[in-house]
A and B are shown apart, each in its own frame.
Chain A
Amino acid sequence: MEDIAAAMASQARRDEQLVARFQAGDARAFDELAAIHLGHLFALSVELLGNRDDAEEVTQEVLIKLYHCISRSRPPARLRAWLYRVCVNQCHDWRRSQRRRPVMLEMTEGADRALDPDPANWAAGAALREALRSALWELPRQQRTAFLLCHFAGLSVNDIAAALGCAPGTVRVHLSRATARLRDALSAEVNVDESV
């Protein structure tokens, strides 16, 4: 557990170092920074928008905002919290501008194959994932966003609290309720090993 906390701290330090290198004139540092966060931003956008094309557009815009932010002024104190808050806000703005409700994105066969190399497990894996993701979509928005920031973006509780503008204790409650909802969905699908 300390390893995970240490990993989060080292990620934050790495971000700061890359920003410092970029502001010192090393243009490749931004490429590295964008490559690190691209996958997380994309995953978060896909889950919030339910559309891969829209998620691609939003990820581009968020990374462009990151470029402008660190090239024109001092970076925010909590860069990761700032970046993912921008992403969440951008997704909400995008949904409003498109005037359509997000729908749950169905996983394609190619995505299933990428997750599990054994074809025998594709159907069962896909059914389980769809059940879990359906449960996720039924969560309240703030709770779901907190869970996505933690699970897909790897943000710490404090960063999520800064990103969503709430207390860390609230984030902990959100995470516990979200995982409990997923637990219920999984229990309805399969039996789980009880060992911790």
Chain B
Amino acid sequence: MNPCERIGHLIGSYLYGDAAPDEAHAVESHLAICPRCRRDVGTRRAALAALPPPAPTERERQRILEAVRAAAMGADAVCWHATRQWRALAIAGAAAAAAVLFVGGMWVGEQRASAPATPRATLGAAVRAVTPVPVVAAPEPMHPVPAPPKRPAREAPPVRRLPAPPPVRHAAPAAVVQAPRVVAPVPEGVDDIRLAALEE
């Protein structure tokens, strides 16, 4: 490797002032004696000078900084924001549950207040009145169908009536459920003795 090639690998960092001191000294020593490399470095330096970095406009700069600030504030507030969201959700859920209970209670109260004294009969009638009864109309035949021959009407069989059940006797529950107490026979004369003791 000739001196020009060896120096050539260092010229890039030399141009940016990032060569080690001994490397920079070697480059400068070589440039002092080599017009070709001197021309090379001069051309590279001019090219770099003609290549300015694309700078952001003031508007772009402000937009970037504002976006970064907003994101940073969002990152700081994320924990607080999450806590706040959960708290708001809990409050909203409790309020919704309370509202449902209140409205339901009001509705039940109104239903009870408007119900008549015989609720079963009236409620059943009301339900039947409200519930639509599906009426299915028989489709009319497209062709007239001959009526079937009439059979002689049979007499209805006599209705067998069951004998009326015997009246239910309501026995005294204590007599049915409770076992009869076994009372020890009191010997004659005991009551007289007790009465005599009380009288005394």
Structural contact, A187 and B54, CB atoms closer than 8 A: no
B186 CB → nearest A CB, Å: 98
Residue from B16, B31, B65 having most chain A Cβ neighbours under 10 A: B16
- When C-beta atoms are compared, the residue in chain A nearest to B55 turns out to be A39
One digit per residue, 1 when the CB lies within 8 angstroms of any chain A CB and 0 when it does not, for chain B 1-37 equals 0000000111111111111010010000001000100
Interface string of A88-119 (1 = CB under 8 A from B): 00000000000000000101000100110000
A4→B44 contact, CB < 8 A: no
* Contact between chains at A157 and B55 (CB < 8 Å): no
What band does the interface of chain A fall in when counting residues whose beta carbon is under 8 Å from B?
35 or more
Total A-B Cβ pairs within 8 A = 152
| A51-86 interface with B by 8 A CB criterion | 52, 56, 59-60, 63-64, 67-68, 71
Q: Please tell me if the beta carbons of B48 and A151 are within 8 angstroms of each other in the complex.
A: yes
Closest Cβ neighbor of A196 among chain B residues: B38
Tell me, yes or no, whether B123 is within 8 Å of chain A by CB: no
Contact of B50 among A56, A129, A174, A176 (CB under 8 A): A129
A residues at B contact (CB < 8 Å) = 1-5, 8, 30-31, 34-35, 38-40, 42-43, 46-47, 52, 56, 59-60, 63-64, 67-68, 71, 105, 107, 111, 114-115, 125, 128-129, 132-133, 136, 150-152, 156-157, 169, 171-180, 182-183, 185-187, 192-196
